[in-house]
Amino acid sequence: MDADTLELAGSHGRLFVRRWSVRSSVRVVVIAHGIGEHGGRYEHVAQRFADDGATVYAPDHAGHGRSGGEFGHIDDIEQLADDLGLVVDLARQENPGLPLVQVGHSLGGLITTRYLQRNGTDGLAALVLSGPFYGNPAYEALLGMDPLPEVAIDTAVLSRDPAVGEAYAADELVYHGSGDRQTLTAIFDAVAAVKSGPKLDAVPICWVQGEADPLALLDVTQAEVERLHGPEFEAHVYPGAMHEVFNEINKEEVLDDVSAFVVARA
């Protein structure tokens, strides 16, 4: 797997994209990361896809990682969906004729869902949703508070592996501050748009979720995924797992499940 980076002109200036390439690739994967983090945290996921013959792209959303925009701030999820579309278009242009798979984790699942609801799923071989954020009453209630309380992500909610939280806390490309009101408003506006938007029933969907995820709550997420999916659907809920199932103590099991789904459909 060869790693390099590139830049596109995105909604907030520089859109930083990591690309992991393999010779004679047989499919393409585009990964959308979660809130506060960046695409570089998915190198091990990209490696697994690459082992199966995929070239992988992972942008840093605006306001995240090395991309432009105010660090840790989101103006509008629809702008991030536009940026994701630029990466999808690039992946198609650089790999003509290859099946395309999209993967969205947490906020990235929300962004990916909005992108597909707006643009359709034609030409998409498969969709993987990892703990997609489709709402959480506790976080939505913050919008009714003035002043907005400072609430940053507790690393303990990420994984049962303490090393994951330690690496997250030490990562300078991760935003460690509290979310602002506009960011929360943008997220919940997009949540509402997803729930009133069209189904994604024409594309095979694999949903992976931690049973104990305190951010993307199991019951909330399951209800929306059940509404969205069509006849080709797999669900994997991992007992005791937290929010980042790709970084959990059973991550090899998760990657095996996702890999098998992707290879079978792309």
Residue 243: active-site member: yes
189, 195, 196, 200 alpha-carbon torsion, rounded to 10°: 120
Catalytic residue among 106, 130, 159, 229: 106
Angle among Cα 206, 197, 224 to the nearest 5 degrees reads 40
Residue 3 β-bridge partners: 20
- Token couple for 143: 């919008």
Report the Cα–Cα distance between both ends of the chain, in Å, rounded.
19
Please say whether the beta carbons of 172 and 262 come within 8 A.
no
Catalytic residue among 12, 33, 61, 243: 243
- Token couple for 257: 């499940």
215 — phi, psi (to 5°)?
-100, -60
Residue 106: active-site member: yes
How far apart CA 215 and CA 100 sit, in angstroms, is 28
Residue 25: active-site member: no
**Nearest one of 53, 56, 60, 73 to 34, comparing CA atoms:** 60
| Concatenated DSSP letters of 202-234 | TS-EEEEEETT-SSS-HHHHHHHHHHH--SSEE
| Greatest alpha-carbon span in the chain | 55
Q: In which region does residue 111 sit, left (phi positive, over 0), alpha (psi from -120 to 50) or beta (all else)? A: alpha
Catalytic residue annotation: 106, 213, 243
